[in-house]
Amino acid sequence: MQGKVKKIVVRGFDPKKTKERQENYYHDTLKKLDVALSVIMSGLGLNSGYQELYVGVQNLVRAGQTESCLELLLRHCQKGIAELKELALASISTAVDESCKAVIHCWRQWTERIELIHNIFYYMDRAYLIRVAGQTSILEFSVSLFRDDFMSFDEIRVPFLNQLTSLFEQLRNGNNVDKTLLKDASKMLQQTHLFDKLFFPMYLCSLETNYTSASQAELQKVPLDEFLLYIERCLKHEEDIVHEMFADNVLVDVNAVLDRCLVSQHISSMTPGLKDFVLKRKTDSCKSLYTLLKRVDETKLLCDPWSQGIVALGSSLVNDPNHDDSLISELLEIHIFLKDVLKHAFLGDEALSYSMRKSFETFLSSLPSTRREKPAELLAKYIDHLMRSTKSVVGNNTFDNVCAELLDIFRYLPNKDVFEAFYKRDVAKRLLLNKSANTDNERKLLEMLKEKCGSTFTHSLEGMFKDVDFSKDFSKSFKESKFGRSLHYDLFVNVLSLAYWPTYPDTTITLPPELETDLDIFKNFYLSQQTARRLAWRPALCYCLLKAEFPSGSKELSVSLFQACVLLLFNDVGDEGLSYVDIQKRTQLNDNDLTRTLQSLCCAHVRPLLMQPKSRRITKEHRFFYNQHFTNPHFRIKINQIQLRESKEEKASVQEEVVRDRQFELQACVVRLMKANKTMTYNQLVRQTMDYLQIRGKPDLSEVKKGIEKLIEKEYIERTDDTNLAYVA
Amino acid sequence: MSRIDSRNLAREFSKAANCTQKAALAWLKSYDYDYPLALACWQEVKEQEVREKKCDKLFDQYASAEDKSTIDLDNSLQLFEDLGLSLEDPATLLVSYLFQSENMGEFHRDAFVKSCLSLHVCNMEQLKSRVSEKKEEWSSNAELAKAVYRYTYPLACERGQRTLPTSIAIEFLQLLLKDSFPLLSEFVAFLEQSPVANKTLPKDTWNQLWEFAAFVRSCPDCSQYDFEGAWPVLIDEFVTYFKNKS
């Protein structure tokens, strides 16, 4: 294309004239703008001509007249803000919210005007102000203008902030306040970047003063549980205000202040209340308290009142003999309640869960010596009832759940060996008398115990089950053998290992000859199968079924062996009956057992025998007769053996057993420790012994000391000086 | 050393030591012919033998007629009398300790002679003054006092027994601790009413009572007593009893 430039000629075009016209146009436009800005700044709206003005600005900018445009704009803005300031100053007053209203009014006006101006000068803003370094956009500079030339005046700013703060105070107190005003004020402060610098510190300060005193007053006025609700309400309220009025990011700071004056301030008055909540079973209040303390990360302060509450709750139960019948079920109930609190109110807090365990141990182990063994004994009894009952569901809980709960209680017991002794007795009774409702349940519980306490603890219990199983199989093979076929009676024998079972008294009794031969047959069979064993009979544990032909009809009597032996004597006596002495001579029973047996046969509800003379007690002078007029609606009748002072004696013997076992265990433990360590200090030995024995039952300090002294005396260990002990090989 | 030399030396030695040449030679040989050392040792041994003989003689004065190796109860009364001690004097326990007597009022020859030698005495006067010296020492030397106290327990036991009945223990406690245990009378009263009154007092408890007496001297109201400490249970019980009482 170079070199061949074509010239285009436009007719009627006169550059000189055009320039002049242009100048005129610019001048006019600027003038129009000037007028328009004046109108806008004076608060009057323009009726029309926006388009023209917009295009005018566009043209001016394009023509490089930006400077004069900007200068015009600045001049008017400055003038406008000055006018607004005058306006505001005129209406500033100390009345409730006048200043606030005035300032916000000005702000609204200002933003409205700037809005219009921004629209008109839009092209300049986009094309020039935003792109050129060192220039700020219209909106930005209008805001800074408002900040620097309006809000910077103390006469305006101070009353405004004060009133705004007090307006927020009113909002906080639930008074009716113009919320739009507050919202606008908050928006203005944020836009002018004055919020963080000027307003927010004041807001926090007022928040703190307000709640510090208000919450104190409330605490004096209402009970603690209501106070907690009050605090929760306050917290919620403030949070709502923040969400409504401010940006979310200030919530952290607001909460920090609230935590300080609503929670931290009252910690010492709030935490002790937990004890009361526990006692009164207020799960919700517990939850409130925990949630509040969680905010300030002080939940550990709850451990003490929590455990005080539990100990108080538990001690009142376990110390009161009147509660014994329902002690375990009430303990279970408390435990379930506390676990519920722990789970729902305390969200499974580790430290609190630990102190709950400790508290249970505390109140169960701090009983007076007369009642120390009671919980263990009652727990065993409770389980016995449970095992005997045929219901598979207790309350609305399955057997497994109940067992898990019971084992929790068991875990807290300081004297597990006492429990074991009682439990063992009960298991023995259930197994021998077939009283267990469900063998699976028995085994399930046994497994659970084993899991908790190790196999040494359940060793003998397992042995008992093994014996019973073995006996079943053995009896079966016995009956199938040639020995079994020569029996007179249908004989079932439980073969028990002495070591596993509780000790039972060895009673002498003269059995009917056929039974005697049957037993011998069994004995021979057993000894032919098993080598190196010794069999001894325990007649006191036997029971049998007697067929009886009464004039009123035939009956089956389910009786103990003692009762059967006495009843069988009356087969061959006539109307003259038998005297006490005769019966004793023929059965060889001792007085205790015989009176017990006779009493059950002729003084109880079911009376197959009669006595002469009639009385409540049996003496040696009594005679006994067969009851010809015996009637009973049932075919099979169970005649209970009278449990003569049994429970008391039994308890004492269990107790004795436990004490004896404990001493052995303790001394064995001391010797083991000394043997392993050779030398130890006295205190070390005591402590380690206690630690070792804790699984079964925590011994007293003095018991441990006595055990050590005994071993010193037996010369297993010796004192090397005041506090050191050495093992004597 | 040549044979002749050694023989000459032996001759000289036999003169000096007043023994046969053969014995002198053997003696010298065992000291590698170091003449002065051998002679010194010889004399010392001789002196020892002389002293032993003297002690034996001293023992013979009191030895029982039936069994020459012991001093029986009757004769030991004489011995105590000659030492200027009455039977009630606790110093008899000191003497028993010094002569390692195994039963009250019984002394064995071997132990007696050995003890005399180690006390460097070989006649009654020496022994008497030595015993009174030891008596002085007894009240000032805690080590010795403790040893005598501990020794008393087996001494006081019946022949063949290893534990001491509480009633007898109380008598001995009163002899031995009357000056050093401020709460002795309270303790005795406690023992008499406690279940161990008709039983025996364990040896360990007896031994620890010595330490307890020392503790009570430093803290007469037992306020600093540590129940967790290594005290025997009986002493724990006493402190509880004592605190309840006061």
- Give the DSSP letter string of A688-725: HHHHHHTTTBPPPHHHHHHHHHHHHHTTSEEESSSSEE
- What confidence score (pLDDT) does residue B94 get? 84
The residue among A713, A721, A724 with the most chain B CBs within 10 A of its CB, best to mutate, is A713
Query: Could you tell me if A541 and A504 are in contact, meaning their C-beta atoms sit under 8 angstroms apart?
Result: yes
Query: Could you tell me if A725 and A719 are in contact, meaning their C-beta atoms sit under 8 angstroms apart?
Result: yes
Three-class SS state of A289: helix
Chain B residue with CA closest to A710: the answer is B202
Instruction: Mark which of B139, B156, B174 sits at the end of a domain.
Output: B139
Q: Do B233 and A723 touch (CB under 8 A)?
A: no
**CATH ID of A19-219, from 3.40.50.11720, 3.40.30.10, 1.20.1310.10, 3.30.9.10:** 1.20.1310.10
Residue ranges matching CATH 1.20.1310.10 in chain A: 19-219
Q: How far is the CA of A433 from the CAs of A382, A430, A475, A489, B19, in angstroms?
A: 18, 5, 16, 19, 97
- What confidence score (pLDDT) does residue A94 get? 67
In a domain, B11, yes or no: yes
Residues B151 and B127 in one domain: no
Q: Do B228 and A709 touch (CB under 8 A)?
A: no
- What confidence score (pLDDT) does residue A396 get? 64
In whole angstroms, what is the distance from residue A337 CA to residue A317 CA?
15
In whole angstroms, what is the distance from residue A274 CA to residue A272 CA?
5
Per-residue confidence band for A356, with pLDDT thresholds at 50, 70 and 90: very high
- What confidence score (pLDDT) does residue A395 get? 62
Give the minimum alpha-carbon distance from A361 to chain B in angstroms, rounded to a whole number.
21
CATH number of the domain within which B64 lies:
1.10.238.10
**Among A706, A713, A722, beta carbon nearest to B230:** A722
- Is residue A257 scored above 60 in pLDDT? yes
Q: Do B230 and A702 touch (CB under 8 A)?
A: no
Give the minimum alpha-carbon distance from A659 to chain B in angstroms, rounded to a whole number.
18
Residues of B with CB under 8 A from a CB of A: 163, 202-205, 207-208, 211, 227-233, 236
Between chain A and chain B, the number of residue pairs with CB atoms below 8 A apart is 36
- Is residue A336 scored above 80 in pLDDT? yes
Q: Under CATH, what is the fold of the domain A648-727?
A: Arc Repressor Mutant, subunit A (1.10.10)
- Is residue B148 scored above 80 in pLDDT? yes
**Among B202, B208, B211, beta carbon nearest to A713:** B202
* Residue A724 burial (CB count, 10 A): 15
Q: Do A706 and B207 touch (CB under 8 A)?
A: no
| Predicted ipTM of the assembly | 0.73
Residues B71 and B101 in one domain: yes
- What confidence score (pLDDT) does residue A169 get? 85
Give the minimum alpha-carbon distance from A709 to chain B in angstroms, rounded to a whole number.
7
Chain A residue with CA closest to B236: the answer is A702
Query: Could you tell me if B235 and B205 are in contact, meaning their C-beta atoms sit under 8 angstroms apart?
Result: yes
**Among B204, B211, B228, beta carbon nearest to A709:** B204
**Among A683, A702, A709, beta carbon nearest to B202:** A709
Burial pattern A633-652, b for ≥16 Cβ within 10 A else e, equals eeeebebebbeeeeeeeeee
Kindly report, residue by residue over A648-680, the tens digit of the pLDDT: 677 777 778 777 888 888 888 888 888 888 888
In whole angstroms, what is the distance from residue B94 CA to residue B33 CA?
45
First to last CA, chain A: 123
**Among B205, B211, B230, beta carbon nearest to A682:** B230
Provide, for chain A, the percentages of residues in helix, strand and coil under a 3-state DSSP scheme, each rounded to the nearest 5. 70, 5, 25
The residue among A680, A686, A700, A712 with the most chain B CBs within 10 A of its CB, best to mutate, is A712
Across the range B20-35, mean pLDDT stands at 82
- Is residue A1 scored above 60 in pLDDT? no
Q: Do A722 and B232 touch (CB under 8 A)?
A: no
Residues in chain B: 246
Query: Could you tell me if A125 and A118 are in contact, meaning their C-beta atoms sit under 8 angstroms apart?
Result: yes
Number of compact structural domains in chain B:
3
The residue among B201, B228, B234, B240 with the most chain A CBs within 10 A of its CB, best to mutate, is B228
In a domain, B46, yes or no: no
Query: Could you tell me if B95 and B131 are in contact, meaning their C-beta atoms sit under 8 angstroms apart?
Result: yes
Q: Which residue has the tokens 């724990």?
A: B236
**Among B207, B208, B228, beta carbon nearest to A683:** B228
Instruction: List beta partners, residue A556.
Output: A547, A636
Q: Do B232 and A705 touch (CB under 8 A)?
A: yes
- What confidence score (pLDDT) does residue A354 get? 92
Q: Do A712 and B202 touch (CB under 8 A)?
A: yes
In a domain, B42, yes or no: no
Give A-chain residues touching B214 at CB under 8 angstroms: none
Q: Do A709 and B208 touch (CB under 8 A)?
A: no
Q: What CATH number does the domain located at A542-638 have?
A: 3.30.230.130
Q: In what order do the strands lie in the sheet with A679-681?
A: A679-681, A724-727, A717-719
Phi-psi region of B108 (alpha: psi -120 to 50; beta: other; left: phi over 0): beta
In whole angstroms, what is the distance from residue A587 CA to residue A582 CA?
9
Which is more confidently placed, A154 or A643? A154
Which is more confidently placed, A301 or A483? A301
Residues B82 and B127 in one domain: yes
Kindly report, residue by residue over A199-242, the tens digit of the pLDDT: 888 888 888 888 888 888 888 888 888 999 999 998 898 888 88
The residue among B199, B203, B234 with the most chain A CBs within 10 A of its CB, best to mutate, is B203
Residues B149 and B227 in one domain: yes
Q: Do B230 and A706 touch (CB under 8 A)?
A: no
Read off φ and ψ for residue A717, nearest 5 degrees.
Answer: -135, 160
- What confidence score (pLDDT) does residue A355 get? 92
Per-residue confidence band for A647, with pLDDT thresholds at 50, 70 and 90: low
| Residue A140, CA atoms < 13 Å, CB-side half-sphere | 8
Kindly report, residue by residue over A505-564, the tens digit of the pLDDT: 778 888 888 888 888 888 888 888 887 888 888 888 888 888 888 888 888 888 888 888
Instruction: Mark which of B107, B139, B171 sits at the end of a domain.
Output: B139
Q: Which residue has the tokens 């061959």?
A: A572
CATH number of the domain within which B227 lies:
1.10.238.200
Residues B68 and B118 in one domain: yes
Give B-chain residues touching A713 at CB under 8 angstroms: 163, 202-204
Q: What's the mean pLDDT when you consider all of chain A?
A: 84
Give the minimum alpha-carbon distance from B175 to chain A in angstroms, rounded to a whole number.
23
Burial class for A282, CB neighbours closer than 10 Å (0-12, 13-18, 19+): buried
Q: Which residue has the tokens 């009970």?
A: A223
Query: Could you tell me if A598 and A583 are in contact, meaning their C-beta atoms sit under 8 angstroms apart?
Result: yes
**Among B163, B211, B233, beta carbon nearest to A702:** B233
Residue ranges matching CATH 1.10.10.10 in chain A: 648-727
Range of the domain at B96: 58-139
Residues B127 and B71 in one domain: yes
In whole angstroms, what is the distance from residue A351 CA to residue A299 CA?
9
In a domain, B109, yes or no: yes
pTM of the full structure: 0.66
In a domain, B50, yes or no: no
In whole angstroms, what is the distance from residue A307 CA to residue A726 CA?
41
> Helical H runs in chain B?
3-17, 21-30, 35-62, 73-82, 91-98, 109-119, 124-140, 142-156, 166-177, 184-193, 203-218, 233-245
Residue A635 is given by DSSP the state: S
Residues B84 and B162 in one domain: no
Give A-chain residues touching B228 at CB under 8 angstroms: 683, 686, 701
Q: Do B232 and A709 touch (CB under 8 A)?
A: yes
Residues B151 and B201 in one domain: yes
Give B-chain residues touching A706 at CB under 8 angstroms: 233
Query: Could you tell me if A257 and A208 are in contact, meaning their C-beta atoms sit under 8 angstroms apart?
Result: yes
Instruction: List beta partners, residue A717.
Output: A727
Q: What is the largest CA-CA distance in chain A?
A: 166
Give the minimum alpha-carbon distance from B96 to chain A in angstroms, rounded to a whole number.
24
Name every residue whose Cβ is closer than 8 Å to that of residue A245 and which is 6 or more positions away in sequence. A168, A182, A183, A186
- Is residue A274 scored above 60 in pLDDT? yes
| Residue A582, CA atoms < 13 Å, CB-side half-sphere | 12
Rg of chain A on CA atoms, in Å: 49
Residues B167 and B215 in one domain: yes
Give B-chain residues touching A712 at CB under 8 angstroms: 202-204
**Among A682, A705, A713, beta carbon nearest to B233:** A705
Give the minimum alpha-carbon distance from A725 to chain B in angstroms, rounded to a whole number.
10
Residues B7 and B69 in one domain: no
Give A-chain residues touching B241 at CB under 8 angstroms: none
- Is residue A646 scored above 70 in pLDDT? no
Residues B151 and B241 in one domain: yes
Instruction: Mark which of B102, B123, B139 sits at the end of a domain.
Output: B139
3-state SS track over A91-146:
HCCCCCCHHHHHHHHHHHHHHHHHHHHHHHCHHHHHHHHCCCCCCCCHHHHHHHHH
Give the minimum alpha-carbon distance from A697 to chain B in angstroms, rounded to a whole number.
20
In whole angstroms, what is the distance from residue A721 CA to residue A682 CA?
10
Kindly report, residue by residue over A376-421, the tens digit of the pLDDT: 888 888 888 888 887 766 666 777 888 888 888 888 888 888 888 8
Give A-chain residues touching B208 at CB under 8 angstroms: 719, 722
Across the range A5-21, mean pLDDT stands at 77
In a domain, B41, yes or no: no
Chain A residue with CA closest to B164: the answer is A713
> Helical H runs in A319-454?
327-340, 350-365, 374-388, 399-412, 416-432, 439-453
Lowest-pLDDT choice from A3-17, A151-165, A286-300, A418-432: A3-17
Percent over 90 (pLDDT), chain A:
3
Percent over 90 (pLDDT), chain B:
0
In whole angstroms, what is the distance from residue A33 CA to residue A15 CA?
27
Q: Do B229 and A683 touch (CB under 8 A)?
A: yes
Query: Could you tell me if A417 and A697 are in contact, meaning their C-beta atoms sit under 8 angstroms apart?
Result: yes
Q: Do B211 and A705 touch (CB under 8 A)?
A: no
Rg of chain B on CA atoms, in Å: 26
Across the range A81-94, mean pLDDT stands at 78
In whole angstroms, what is the distance from residue A522 CA to residue A478 CA?
8
In a domain, B40, yes or no: no
Give the minimum alpha-carbon distance from B147 to chain A in angstroms, rounded to a whole number.
13
In a domain, B39, yes or no: no
